[in-house]
Structure 1
Amino acid sequence: MKNNSLLNCVALILLFLSSSIAFATSHFETEEFYFVTSNNEKLSGIISRPKEFDAKSIIMVAHSYGATNVVEGNQYHNFRSQLTSKGITVVIWDKPGCGKSEGEFDINQPVKSSAIEISNAIKYLRQENEPGSDQIGIWGSSRGGWIAPLAINEEQSNIKFWISVSGTDAYENWDYLIRSSLEIEGYSKPEIDKIYGSLVDGNRLFWNGGDYDEYLKAIKLYKQNETVQRITGEKYVELVPGSKAYESDRTLYYQNRKKWLSNGYSFDEEAGLVVVVKDFENILSSFSIPVLAIFGGKDKNVDWRSTKALYEKTMGSNLTVKIYEKADHALKLSETGGYLESQEKSYQKYPYVDDYYEVMLGWLCANEFCQDSL
């Protein structure tokens, strides 16, 4: 058992924000950027500034799921070009163990740890009197929807705005991705309920101290399912008690439970879901900063309707929502919006929504975070 599939790939990185174009353009310049975390690890990234004038604000990127290659890959080039053209500096760094960043890469790095990185970077920028550091905001996609609120809650006086793209509610979204994928593949509701129920029963045992053999029995129907195996990339293997594979997986089962609990995650019995951020509703309700939330109406990775309802309930008039009805999790115009479709070779050629930057920059300028006259 690798990680109980609890925090597997629930998100696609928004690739339309990155490319491998030259390291500088006519209106912005980029330098390597370093700061030291509270764990005494040196993280490496890039800072892109407007070339001929001081920035009015700074946007920091809260990454989605997976490894990063910001510096060597010159990533988010288009994103940096668009924002610096309006007088906004962009700061991005590689996750620990990626690129030139120190530390060990953890694909399931706790979101709290990622939020602390943002606090550390803010402290450095303000100490250096970086132009625009009096108006710092966060842009975060998918998993960044957990990270950004935690950072804002910690740094409320220092973070002035938040842009959430394909954001999350308090719960882990693997369950939603599985149900959506099964529905797209043509399973009936009773069939989906049985398979999904097997996953929930397994999770319940995992989180509540259940015996490993009971867990294997409970989650068997889920793990045997062909669609689930296509999504996870894991073929079902019947584990025989006493075998090397059985003993290895059993050890990992108990190690993972200890790890997830120590990282602050828990299980909501009533919802049947893993809670990634505790007290999320109260955290969001405390915000007084402007927030822009962008969703794809066909997003089958993250339960965007639940997120939208939560945002509207907690942030009220501070919130602006933009929905692209025909877009998926990555804001691409896909047919089903499903995870499996996004893994097809042809998906790379799918178009993105065409006015994403206009919407985002218009909102930033309306809230006086950009140099609108440029």
Structure 2
Amino acid sequence: MRPKTRPRRRGIRIAVWSLVAAVLVAAGLAGTVLWQHSYDLDERRVTIRHGGHVLNAVLAVPRDGRERHGLVVYVHGDGPVDATHDDGYRPIWEANAAAGYASLSWDKPGVAGAPGNWLDQSMDDRADEVAAAIAWARARPDVDGDRIGLWGASQAGWVLPKVAARTPVGFVVAVSPAIDWLRQGRYNLLAELRADGASPARIEAETARSDTVRALLARHAGFEEYVAAMGGDAHGMTADRWGFVSRNHTADATRDLPALRGVPVLLVLAGQDTNVDTADTERGYREALDAGGALTVEHYPDAAHSLVKRSVERSDLRLALTALFSPRSLFADGFLDGQRRFLDRSGRAPVQGRALSSR
């Protein structure tokens, strides 16, 4: 009697072809990820020296064959941000490259092995750092010194006009900037409480705690006094962070925005921003800059503070999958094209004041 081998062989064939199919799918997915994270630019690691400090930077250059390019210098928002912002800047750098601009960004002090501690900085320190980076760039033969501008998000709103007061800049892109530190903090607190569905009693308690913190800051209280006032619970605050807030809590862009008069400014505002009161920001920028005719305002109704689509940001899974498989589509529709168009205009002629709504 012959052994029954056919079913066994058939099972082996099915297993083999299933494995082959799985490998092909995995290879296809890997290829998709690699393709999606391949940007039309070349990145170079560079070192910038500033007053005894070292900035570990990335210079992203267009692949257009030109020997000289304009330059967009990046000013980070709050937090321990590295040069690429965990790769989040790269789609924006690609949009810059499409307009013929290189991009320059660096690890904050103390981030990704960079020397120093960003929490030791004031907004003036940060502005000095950016001005030094611009001076470094102007000395390079591959940078067009007449076409250097700034791109900054969130906390950078207190840095950008200070830089413009120190050194000439050709343009500014301000993404979700705030005007007044304390007003921004209160707006953020209440917006997040409302988003959480907080009860009136909780809102009252959190507001009272915030008022206590403000009183401590006003009298220059130390970290130990802060912890004692909070009943021994630091609420995530560290001594370094308390020092940073103490140095910067009086920041108010109103005093510095006049330095941007006559400079083409693109103000980018998100419609779902729980960090910054965009109406307050737009009002402040218009009061300071509209008369010069160089302010452009773009609204993105469906965007969160980071200009990522709010629908994407709400889901950790969707955010992770989009970042992996389609990083350019993280951002609100039209945002990347809006950056490119603004740079394209800024490189050719003065920008006329206007208010745009991108949908």
TM-score by length of 2: 0.73
| Aligned residue number for residue 195 of structure 1 | 206
Answer whether contact 2:99 2:341 (CA < 8 A) is retained.
Answer: no
Change (3 A) 1:349 1:306: farther
**Structure 1 counterpart of 2:337, from 349, 358, 365:** 358
Alignment of 1:87-126 (within 5 A): 87-99=100-112, 101=114, 103-107=115-119, 109-126=121-138
Deviation at residue 127 of structure 1 after TM alignment: 2.0
- How far did 1:178 drift? 1.6
Once residues 59 and 36 of structure 2 are traced to their aligned partners in structure 1, the CA distance between those partners, rounded to angstroms, is 15
**How do 1:226-265 and structure 2 match up within 5 A?**
256=242, 263=247, 265=248
Distance verdict in 2 for CA 1:184–1:107, change over 3 Å:
same
Equivalent residue letter for 1:321? V
Kindly state the Cα deviation for residue 196 of structure 1 after the two structures are TM-superposed.
0.9
User: What is residue 67 of structure 1 aligned with on the other side?
Assistant: 80
Provide the rounded CA distance (Å) in 1 between the counterparts of 2:140 and 2:226: 52
Bigger shift: 130-139 or 287-296?
Answer: 130-139
Where does residue 162 of structure 1 map in the other structure?
A: 172
Cα displacement (A) at 1:136? 0.7
Q: Is the 8 A contact 2:272 2:303 kept in 1?
A: yes
Query: Kindly tell me: are residues 89 and 201 of structure 1, through their superposed partners in 2, closer, same or farther at Cα, counting changes over 3 Å?
Result: same
Which residue number in structure 2 is paired with residue 8 of structure 1? none
Q: Aligned letter for 1:310? A: G
**Structure 1 position 42, deviation (Å):** 1.7
Partner of 1:275: helix, strand, or coil? coil
What are structure 2's unaligned runs of at least 5 residues? 1-32, 323-329, 350-359
1:85 aligns with one of 87, 94, 98:
98
Secondary structure of the 1:286 match is helix
Query: In 2, are the aligned partners of 1:184 and 1:336 still within 8 Å (CA)?
Result: no
1:323–1:365 CA distance, 2 compared to 1 (3 A): same
Distance in 1 between the 2:301 and 2:85 partners?
Answer: 35
Quote the residue 2:251 is aligned against: 276
- Determine whether 1:140 maps to 2:140: no
| 1:290 aligns to 2:301 (yes or no) | no
Q: 1:109 to 1:193 in 2, by over 3 A?
A: same
Q: CA–CA distance in 1 between the matches of 2:37 and 2:311? A: 34
Q: 1:303 aligns with which of 263, 270, 277?
A: 277
**1:175 matches 2:203:** no
Bigger Cα Rg: 2
Q: For residue 347 of structure 2, what is the amino acid of its counterpart? A: E
Give identity over the alignment, percent.
Answer: 20
1:24–1:47 Cα change, 3 Å: farther
Question: 2: CA distance between counterparts of 1:90 and 1:147?
Answer: 18
Give the 3 Å change call, closer, same or farther, for CA 353–108 of structure 1 in structure 2: farther
How far apart, CA to CA, are the structure 2 residues paired with 1:81 and 1:331? 16
> Is the Cα–Cα contact under 8 Å of residues 20 and 77 in structure 1 kept in the other structure?
no
Q: How far off its partner does 1:333 sit?
A: 2.9
Change (3 A) 1:31 1:22: farther
Matched residue, 1:320? 296
Distance 1:179 1:88, change over 3 A: same
Residue 67 of structure 1 aligns with an amino acid whose one-letter code is P
Deviations 1:154-213 (A, max 9, x none): 11xx21100011111131433322211111222355652442133113321342256999
The DSSP-based 3-state class of the residue aligned with 1:180 is helix
2-side partners of 1:125 and 1:336: how far apart? 36
| Residue of structure 2 in register with 1:242 after alignment | none
Aligned to 1:333: 309
Please tell me whether the aligned partners of residues 21 and 77 of structure 1 are also in contact (alpha carbons under 8 angstroms).
Answer: no
Q: Secondary structure at the match of 2:66?
A: coil
Contact 1:33–1:46 at 8 Å: present in 2 too?
yes
Structure-1 separation of matches of 2:275 and 2:281: 12
Match of 1:12 in 2: none
Q: Is the 8 A contact 1:284 1:314 kept in 2?
A: yes
Contact 1:72 1:99 (C-alpha < 8 Å) held by counterparts: no
Shift of 1:66: 2.1
- Give the residue type in structure 2 aligned to 1:207: A
Match of 2:16 in 1: none
Per the TM alignment, residue 106 of structure 1 is displaced from its structure 2 partner at its CA by 3.0
Structure 2 CA distance for partners of 1:360 and 1:65, relative to 1, 3 Å = same
Deviations 1:263-318 (A, max 9, x none): 4x3xxxxxxxx3224xx323212322010011111100122221111111101122
Q: TM-score, normalised by structure 1?
A: 0.70
Length, aligned pairs only: 305
Residue 219 (structure 1) shift: 5.0
Consecutive unaligned residues of structure 1, counting only runs of 5 or more, are 1-18, 235-248, 266-273
